[in-house]
Every structure is written in C-alpha cells, then in structure tokens.
Copies of this chain bind each other. A is one copy, B any other.
Amino acid sequence: MLDFETKIFDKETLTIGDRTESIVRGGRHLFDRLPAAFEGIHQLGVIGWGPQGSAQAQNLRDSLGSAVRRVTVGLRTDSASWHAAIDAGFTPEDGTLGEMYDVIRGSDMVVLLISDGAMAESYQDIFAALQPGTTLGLSHGFLLGHLELMGDRFPDDIDVVAVCPKGMGASVRALYLQGKEVNGAGINASFAVHQNVTGRAVERVLGWSVALGAPYTFQTTLRSEYLSDLSGERGILAGGLHGIVESLYRHFGDLGLSDEDAFRHSAESLTGPISRVISQEGMIGVYKRLSAAGQRRFAEGYSASYPLGFELIHEIYDEIQSGNELRSVVLANRRLARFPLGKIDQAGMWRVGEQVRAERVAEQIPLDPFTAGVFIGVMMAQIDALIEYGHPYSEIANESVIEAVDSLNPYMHARGIAYLVDNCSITARIGARKWAPRFDYALTQRAYPALGDVDPALIADFEQHVIHDVLRVCAELRPSVDIFVE
C-alpha cells in the first residue's frame, strides 16, 4: 500500500471510488513553501530541451525564484536547441545554460528530460557524472525499465525520484502560464520516490510538482508509472486514438458521407465536443446527453469496440511488461540514423482534415454518438485493464481520461491528430506507428462487420462503473480553466 509523509505540504486522503488515495493539492499560494522543500539544493539542473525539458525548466525557474541559487539547463554543446534555450532566457554567461555533463556534475538536483533513446545510450556516463547525494529526477519510468532489461541499477548513493506530468510538455507550459491568472491551473502529475538516501526526497519531489503547477499530485511507483504511461500512450491517448479515427473516417465514407463530413463525424467530433463533454461531465455525461436513438448508436459502437480494445490493451501491457516494448524503442532509435521517422500528415484523410479545420464553425461540429461509443469503449477497456493490473485509481483516471480530454485532445483539435503523431516524443511516435494500425485493423476487420448488436451487460457495466465516481472526485480537484491552444 503506497503512502507518504510530508511536513511541508498538506497531504489529503481522498475517498475515491471504493478506495482511499493520498494526494497533495497544488497552487501558487504554496510557492512560499518551496524554499523549505528545496533546502540544500543550490543548483537545479534540467537536462534536455524537448517539450518536457523546455516547459519544466521555465516553470521551475519562474516558480522557484530564489528558493534555489539557479535553475540551469544542460545540453550537448552541438544541440540544435541551444539557441532556443537562450531565447527563453537561459544563458552560459549567468551560469543557467551549460554543457550537459558539466551541469550534471555541478547540480545537487538533476531533472533528466532527454529522450528515452538518448537515456538508453548515455545513462552510464550520466550516472558517472552524478555527485553522491544528488537527487536524480525523472519524468517517466523508462529508465528503470531499461536498467532492468540491462541487468543494471541506479547508483546507490543518490536519491531517485520522479514527477510525471499527465500531459504533454506544451500543456505543462501553457496551463502554467494560464495559471498566473487563475490559481491552480496546470497539469496533474504523479510522483514516485524510488531511492531516498538524503531523507529529503519526498519534500523535494512534492516541491518539484507544485513548482510545475500541478493542480494535484498523486503517488505511484516508477514501475507502475512506466507500465501505465506507455500503455496509455500506445492505447487511448495516441496510438489507439489515431487508429480509431482512421477506421471511423473510412467507416463513415463507406456509409456514403463526403470526405469532409466523414472527417467531421470522426476526428472533429472526437477531439472537439466528445472530449469537451467528457472533461466537464465525465464519460457517462456523454451518454446521458444522447437521445434514445443516440444511446442505441453509442451502445452499438461501444459493444463493438470494447472487446477488441480490451484485447489490444492486454497485448500492449504484456509487451511492455515483458520488456519487448522498451527493447523495441531502443532498437528503433538505433535505426533512426538510417531510417528517419516518416511523417503521416500527407495522407488523404489528414489533408481533408486541414481543410475542414480551416473552415471550422465550432458550434456545427456534431457530437456523433457512434464515434463517442467507439472511443469511450476503448477508453473503458483501458481503464478496466489497468484496474485488473492493480494501478491506483488516480493514475488510471489521469492516464486514460484526464490526459486525453484536458491536454492531448484539445491540442489535437487545434493542430490536427497527424500533427501530434508527427511531433510527440520519439517513444510516443514509435508507439503510435506501431499500435494505431492494430486498432484500425481490429475495428475494421472484426468490429464493424458485426455491427448492430448491443451487449446489454457491457452497457450496464459501463453505467455502473466506479470510474465515474473517480472522475467526479478528480474533477473537484481540477482548476476552473481549460487549456487554450492557438
């Protein structure tokens, strides 16, 4: 049973569904506690300038003020991001930008946000550069999984902690900036304390999460994090979503809709009104809004997609748990020099989407009940699989629902699903390429040909599911601001 103690922040124990889970609520009013949380940290090094690196470095600098002597970004000297970091105000002159190994050696706390592939290649050098007593921070459990595969381990003489924001880097920064106006706006995060040699790891990790702007922070383990994070990303958050939308677009085309209307009833409906209603009223809220005929269409879609989604999420989880998925990511990274990742945005469907978004009238986007049923069916399948595997409810709700409807889908609604699939982290891009077509084929070849049947037991399970109560509790912790993406 996970639990933690903090003297600096306020632990709350929530009754969430049929369990209790301990969390820490965030907010700008807590920033005056950060000096205590970061006591002993002179230099906080943020390594990497990807979406998470750039967002976290800026949020930490803005929040910490004089709580630490400086927040310093560490990059390879030949990094293409060097100038972007300078543009954001990190400079070699004032010691806030430096060569990554110099920064690692000179920091008391190192937040390591380089790509998974780079982590796999460089972790031994990084470990060698860490001073004894350093607090090593991760935002993803990947490195633990990779060490397990290599039969290797973290150095004994450091803290190992993680804060894992349940949203993309762009949202972590965008909502933090919005949070300057509305206290508490931000992206929820999980935290894990894997090694605590200093005895200060819990306060530091909670301080880090509060400094990022997380409205609430819940506990997990590094292992539970990477299992659920990779499952979610390969499932409903990106891979599954991409495949679902491709299959629905063709399905609506087969039913006689124009390309534009097929796009509106699939992608537009999903990243727009369906996600917005889930965010505000939960999955069950979508269902309740529908007419009797709409509920019937929803139930057909749900009955068709849930069993196949459940099967695929189990396959994904097996692949992650066995180490296959991580090995596969490392191998794919090694192939990149010879075979760069291709883009998908020139395919017919995504060209149509560009056109449809350009002419968008938000009020006219349909909330298609069939699309909602198919999407929520796979979402519920992921939730049930993660419950079966024993993950905390907070983790499940964030990894399956909240990250989708409050971070990723609004972003995709503005920029396009293909944009996300072409521009997310390398690990996520590899995962989307691998799993999206599997969801598409499963739905196209097996679910849609058998459409029409409704499984009443499945729908009853959905209506009575504990997750609705979990989401209701999470919604109370949610700041009253939606992400805004230009």
Q: Taking beta carbons and an 8 Å cutoff, which residues of A are in contact with B? A: 250, 254, 308, 311, 314-315, 318-319, 322-324, 327-328, 331-332, 335, 338-339, 342-344, 346-348, 433-434, 436-438, 440-442, 444-446, 448-450
Cβ of A346 and Cβ of B449 under 8 Å apart? yes
Q: Can you identify 14 A-B contacts, CB atoms within 8 angstroms?
A: A308-B342, A314-B338, A315-B332, A319-B331, A322-B327, A322-B328, A324-B328, A324-B331, A346-B446, A347-B446, A434-B438, A437-B437, A437-B438, A437-B441
Interface core residue of A342, A347, A446, A450 (most chain B CB under 10 Å): A342
A68 to B449, CA, bound (A): 52
Task: Tell me which of A250, A315, A436 has the highest count of chain B C-beta atoms within 10 A of its own C-beta.
Answer: A315
In chain B, what residue has the closest Cβ to A421? B445
Q: Check B450–A346 contact: CB distance below 8 A.
A: yes
Given contacts A324-B327, A437-B441, A441-B436, contact A314 B335 (CB under 8 A): yes
**Once the chains bind, are B335 and A328 in contact (CB under 8 Å)?**
no
Q: A324-B328, A348-B254 are in contact. Are A442 and B342 (CB under 8 A)?
A: yes
Shortest Cβ gap from A444 to chain B (Å):
6
Could you say which residues of chain B place their CB within 8 Å of the CB of A250? Answer: 250
Instruction: Pick from B308, B328, B339, B433: contact of A314, CB below 8 A.
Output: B339
B315 and A335 contacting across the interface, CB-CB below 8 Å: yes
Given contacts A437-B437, A441-B433, contact A344 B314 (CB under 8 A): no
Q: Is B331's CB under 8 angstroms from A446's CB?
A: no
B342 touches A446 (CB 8 A): yes
Docked complex Cα distance between A323 and B328 (Å): 10
Give min CB distance, A419 to chain B, whole Å.
14
Give chain B nearest CB distance to A316 CB in angstroms: 11
Q: Which residues of B contact A438 (CB under 8 A)?
A: 433-434, 437
Q: How far does the Cβ of A30 sit from chain B's closest Cβ, in whole Å?
A: 45
Bound Cα distance from A433 to B312, whole angstroms: 11
Copies in the complex: 2
A446 with B344: CB separation less than 8 A: yes
Whole-angstrom distance between the Cβ of A379 and the nearest chain B Cβ? 19
**Residues A319 and B328 in contact in the complex (CB < 8 Å), given A347-B449, A446-B344:** yes
Q: Residue A437 contacts which of B343, B346, B348, B440 (CB distance < 8 angstroms)?
A: B440
Q: Given A314-B335, A314-B338, list of 4 further CB < 8 A pairs? A: A254-B348, A318-B331, A344-B441, A347-B444
Q: Report Cα–Cα, A433/B332, bound state, in Å.
A: 20
Which residue on chain B has the smallest CB distance to residue A339?
B311
Q: What is the distance, in angstroms, from A325's C-beta to the closest C-beta of chain B? A: 9
Q: How far is the CB of A360 from chain B (nearest CB, A)?
A: 23
- Identity of the chain B residue whose Cβ is nearest the Cβ of A436 in the assembled complex: B441
Distance, CA A319 to CA B327, complexed state (A): 9
In the A-B complex, list the 9 residue pairs whose CB atoms are closest, starting with the nearest: A437-B437, A346-B449, A347-B445, A344-B445, A437-B441, A311-B339, A324-B324, A342-B446, A318-B331
Residues of B within 8 A of A347 (CB): 444-446, 448-449
The residues of B that contact A346 with a CB separation of less than 8 Å are 445-446, 449-450
Q: In the assembled complex, how far is the CB of residue A310 from the closest CB belonging to chain B, in whole angstroms?
A: 8
A440 to B436, CA, bound (A): 11
A197 → chain B closest CB, angstroms: 33
Q: Whose C-beta in chain B lies nearest to the C-beta of A449? A: B346
Closest chain B residue to A344 by CB distance? B445
Q: Which B residues are CB-close (under 8 A) to A442? A: 342
Chain B nearest CB from A258 CB (Å) reads 14
Q: What is the bound-complex CA distance between A433 and B343, given in angstroms?
A: 23
B318 touches A335 (CB 8 A): yes
**A322 near B311 (CB under 8 angstroms)?**
no
A446 neighbours in B (Cβ, 8 Å): 342-344, 346-347
Contacts of A322 in B (CB 8 A): 327-328, 331
A23 to B414, CA, bound (A): 62
Alpha-carbon distance between A433 and B439 when the two chains are bound, in angstroms: 11
Minimum CB–CB distance for A239 against chain B, Å = 11
- Residue of B with least CB distance to A243: B437
Query: Which B residue sits closest to A330, measured CB to CB?
Result: B322
Cα distance, A347 to B448, chains bound together (Å): 8
Cβ–Cβ < 8 Å partners of A437 in chain B: 437-438, 440-441
Q: Please indicate the chain B residues that have their CB under 8 angstroms from the CB of A318 in the complex.
A: 331, 335
The residue among A314, A327, A441 with the most chain B CB atoms within 10 A of its own CB is A441
Task: Give the distance to chain B from A146, nearest Cβ to Cβ, in Å.
Answer: 14
**Smallest Cβ-Cβ distance to A438: which chain B residue:** B437
